[in-house]
Structure 1
């Protein structure tokens, strides 16, 4: 099921509800002009599954996967010009493994691996 963000609310525990129940499905967020700028998948009101954010012009802004509210696997962010801004990877428990960043021109600004 996909709903508009205006059809949901967040409770005091930050879980998303729809029609008085914890929500399972996708929540679509639009800006004031009606452009889709977010699509997040939920399970029992918690982010669980793909998450994609866009700039109002349709350019992808961020993409990754949540597992029971934790970022897992690869996540990417882009500058408004489409240049990759950040690449991050997380382990299965949501702990950061590595992060790389670039400026708007594609020049590397950070390359970090997190110790275990």
Structure 2
């Protein structure tokens, strides 16, 4: 049976196997996985064969964007951004495209002031 394009993480047909891969109706899932709180979409991740792979986005309950980035084979890749609830950028992380390792990170407070700026040598 083919998996649906989008499922809810709390759907009764959704489970995890021993390898922590996402299953829908006992099959590895490929498509979008949504999480809702009080009817509001708060998280949306792409999965391929049961593993997070593709875009990853999260929102605050009021709909304000909270997090955005890309995951490949379950590991963060490239740029990830996170915002404070007031819409100000909270952090920017750059993950190595080959080593799947954090190579730089900048963090700002709720007023937009830089509080940390780190780069791997």
TM-score class, shorter: over 0.9
Unaligned runs of 5+ in 2: none
State the TM-score, normalized to the length of structure 2.
0.90
Equivalent residue, structure 2, for 1:108: 114
Aligned length: 114
Structure 1 position 9, deviation (Å): 1.6
Q: Cα deviations across residues 40-78 of structure 1 (Å, max 9, x unaligned)?
A: 000111110000000000001111000101100100001
| TM-score normalised according to structure 1 size | 0.94
**What does residue 97 of structure 1 align with?**
103
Unmatched tracts of structure 1, length 5 or more = none
In the alignment, which residue of structure 2 is the partner of 1:85? 90
Large movers: runs of 4+ above 4 Å = none
Partners of 2:53 and 2:28 lie apart in 1 by 13
**What is the distance in 2 between the residues matched to 1:95 and 1:18?**
30
